Amino acid sequence: MFSSVLAVLDSAPRRFFLALSTVCFVMLGYGLYLQVYGGLNPCPMCIVQRYALIFVAITALLTGASARKGMHLLGAALIVLCAGFGAFVAARQSWLQWYPPEVATCGRDFYGMIESFPLQRAIPMIFKGSGDCSAVDWRFLGGSLANWSFLTFTTFGVLAALMIWRRARHTR
């Protein structure tokens, strides 16, 4: 399997970037599904991870649209940075879930924001998230959303770094 991933990175980098973008958009859609239909309120760290995922998705989409090798290297470098940031936030959230603080200070309740603040101030606060970052509301195979987010961002970053290494090595 690993050799087939390397083959795609070498022979079809555009397909790799487009597949990466598709995976990111599917993940974003699932996150919105969990929020709207599953009743899971995203915390501020979840929102930051969504932004990182959006940046990875858009970067991968734009990079996959280009046939230039230099653009592939630049796009992969940006993906490494965005995925690294997302992995850092997810790791921090995982740590908070494993060692929860005594007082949850992650976000505010949505209705409390609307009641306490004028609308022009409350709307930006909505996009900051309202859930508790240390709460584990969803699990899959024993891992929380933050755990799976960390693994996913790390995988994206490693694959993009591998792409840079393979493409730069073939340039010499």
Q: Domains along the chain?
A: 2-105+132-171 (1.20.1550.10)
DSSP reduced 3-state for 171: helix
Q: How many residues belong to the chain? A: 172
Q: Cα dihedral sign for 49, 52, 53, 54?
A: positive
Q: What is the mean pLDDT of each run of 10 residues along the chain (172 residues)?
A: 53 82 88 78 80 91 81 88 90 75 55 60 58 61 78 90 78 54
Q: What is the pLDDT of residue 59?
A: 92
- Model-level pTM? 0.71
DSSP reduced 3-state for 140: strand
* Element holding 21 (H helix, E strand): helix 13-36
- Dihedrals φ, ψ of 144, to 5°? -80, 175
Copy the structure tokens of residue 123.
């709307």
Q: What amino acid occupies position 136? A: V
Measured CA to CA, the distance from residue 26 to residue 48 in angstroms comes to: 17
Measured CA to CA, the distance from residue 64 to residue 16 in angstroms comes to: 8
Q: Whose structure tokens read 């046939």?
A: 67
Q: What is the pLDDT of residue 129?
A: 57
Instruction: Give all strands (DSSP E) within the chain, no chain letters.
Output: 139-140, 143-144
Copy the structure tokens of residue 113.
């924001």
Q: What amino acid occupies position 166? A: R
